[in-house]
């Protein structure tokens, strides 16, 4: 083991086990009474704080203290593409964004947000057109077909961009296609444009796609969140307090050593980054926002996302913020360890 990795693991051992902190209600003090269950979390892939936690077994150790365990469930790269696994109970917790949680609730999938982050400033979501397309601006989308994952991130980004440009959403045809299928349609020219995110967005750009809009320039309210099935949130809220605390501690570590959180499992193959992509991802990780208990201003963000979906018929009923947010306990740890 290199000295660098030994130092990182030593710091984690201190922050996750030896740091003095006041235990929040429902964590260490309540562990004997916590109901045992398995957090079935969507697999984090090859990058980020949860990929690092998975590799090091951090959540396995910490959740054991509140009578819980964690299983990492293979998942598609979009929250909205995992509804079948969520409905069956195969997956009961995930990272995501505000928009797909609202979309899930509109389809009676009982997931709620228990933690939220500030806008990240990352440039990994937006609207693109194929290489060779004459579509180069948001205004060019009028009368065109744009693929979106309906009532989720892609849909929100398109609606927000159109609203900012003063274009009625009805003037653009939104095609409800999940990102894995939309990638093929985009590559073969079957759609005019695509509103997407993550590796779908960056991969398309690498192959020549034109960027019409980037989410970070849209004053987006659709920030990153942690969410889980309401039944498991109610069963053992202490487990989700632990996940929130560990995420904060690892985010602090990521700010110091962002390179440790890229290519976590492999530096080869389709999930690995290299060159300029790796450099950009590392710089974004250096300033990635930490999750926290939702505040009053966060609730306003959530309300705004729900409203734009209802106004544009992405969802067929109004959903209140109280139906979207779950309080895992006012005493949940939100501070990060001083590494």
Where do the domains of the chain lie, and which CATH numbers do they carry? 3-118+223-323 (3.40.190.10), 125-217 (3.40.190.10)
Q: CA-to-CA distance for 189 and 206, rounded, in angstroms?
A: 16
* CA atoms within 13 Å, Cβ hemisphere of 205: 20
Strands 145-148 and 193-197: parallel
What is the edge-to-edge ordering of all strands in the sheet holding 145-148? 173-176, 145-148, 193-197, 125-129, 210-214
Helix (H, G, I), strand (E, B) or coil at 224: strand
Per-residue model confidence (pLDDT) at position 16:
39
Asked if 263 and 301 touch (Cβ cutoff 8 Å), the reply is no
Query: Can you say how many angstroms the Cα of residue 262 is from the centroid of all Cα atoms in its chain?
Result: 16
User: pTM for the full model?
Assistant: 0.84
Neighbours of 280 (CB within 10 A): 15
Question: What helix, strand, coil percent values describe the chain, rounded to 5?
Answer: 45, 15, 40
Handedness of CA 62, 236, 227, 221 (dihedral sign): negative
Q: CA-to-CA distance for 273 and 283, rounded, in angstroms?
A: 13
Q: Residue 170 to residues 119, 191, 212: CA-CA distances in angstroms?
A: 28, 17, 19
Tokens 């505000």, residue located: 98
Tokens 């926002």, residue located: 289
191, 193, 196, 197 alpha-carbon torsion, rounded to 10°: 120
Nearest residue to 236 via CA among 22, 16, 39, 21? 39
Strands 68-73 and 37-42: parallel
Q: CA-to-CA distance for 247 and 254, rounded, in angstroms?
A: 10
Per-residue model confidence (pLDDT) at position 34:
64
Instruction: Note down pLDDT in tens along the chain; length 339 residues.
Output: 433 343 333 334 333 333 333 333 333 334 445 678 899 999 999 999 999 999 999 999 999 999 999 999 998 877 878 888 888 889 999 999 999 999 999 988 889 999 999 998 777 899 999 999 999 999 999 999 999 999 999 999 999 999 999 999 999 999 999 998 999 999 999 999 999 998 899 889 989 999 999 999 999 999 999 999 999 999 999 999 999 999 999 999 999 999 999 999 999 998 898 998 899 899 999 999 999 999 999 999 999 999 999 999 999 999 999 999 999 984 444 433 333
């Amino acid at each position: 083991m290199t000295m660098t990795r030994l130092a990182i693991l030593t710091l984690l051992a201190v922050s996750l086990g030896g740091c003095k902190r006041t235990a929040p209600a429902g964590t260490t003090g309540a562990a004997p009474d916590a109901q045992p269950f398995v957090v079935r979390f969507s697999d984090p892939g090859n990058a980020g704080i949860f990929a690092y936690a998975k590799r090091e077994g951090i959540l396995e150790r910490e959740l054991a203290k509140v009578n819980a365990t964690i299983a990492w469930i293979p998942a598609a790269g979009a929250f909205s593409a995992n509804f079948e696994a969520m409905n069956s109970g195969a997956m009961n917790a995930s990272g995501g964004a505000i928009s797909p949680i609202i979309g899930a609730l509109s389809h009676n999938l009982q997931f709620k947000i228990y933690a939220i982050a500030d806008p990240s400033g990352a440039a990994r979501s937006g609207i693109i057109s194929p290489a060779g397309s004459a579509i180069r601006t948001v205004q060019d989308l009028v009368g065109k077909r744009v693929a979106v994952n309906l009532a989720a991130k892609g849909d929100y980004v398109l609606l927000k961009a159109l609203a900012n440009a003063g274009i009625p959403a009805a003037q653009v045809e939104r095609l409800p296609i999940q990102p894995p299928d939309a990638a093929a349609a985009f590559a073969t020219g079957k759609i005019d444009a695509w509103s997407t995110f993550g590796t779908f967005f960056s991969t398309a750009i690498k192959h020549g796609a034109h960027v019409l809009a980037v989410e970070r320039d849209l004053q987006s309210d659709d920030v990153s969140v942690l969410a889980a099935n309401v039944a498991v949130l109610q069963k053992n809220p202490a487990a989700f307090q632990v996940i929130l605390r560990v995420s904060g501690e690892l985010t602090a570590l990521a700010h110091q050593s962002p390179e440790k959180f890229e290519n976590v499992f492999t530096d080869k193959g389709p999930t690995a980054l290299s060159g300029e992509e790796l450099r950009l991802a590392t710089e974004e990780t250096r300033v990635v926002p930490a999750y926290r208990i939702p505040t009053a201003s966060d609730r306003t963000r959530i309300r705004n996302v729900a409203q734009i979906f209802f106004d544009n018929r992405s969802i067929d009923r109004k959903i209140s913020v109280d139906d979207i947010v779950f309080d895992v306990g006012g005493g949940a740890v939100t501070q990060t360890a001083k590494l």
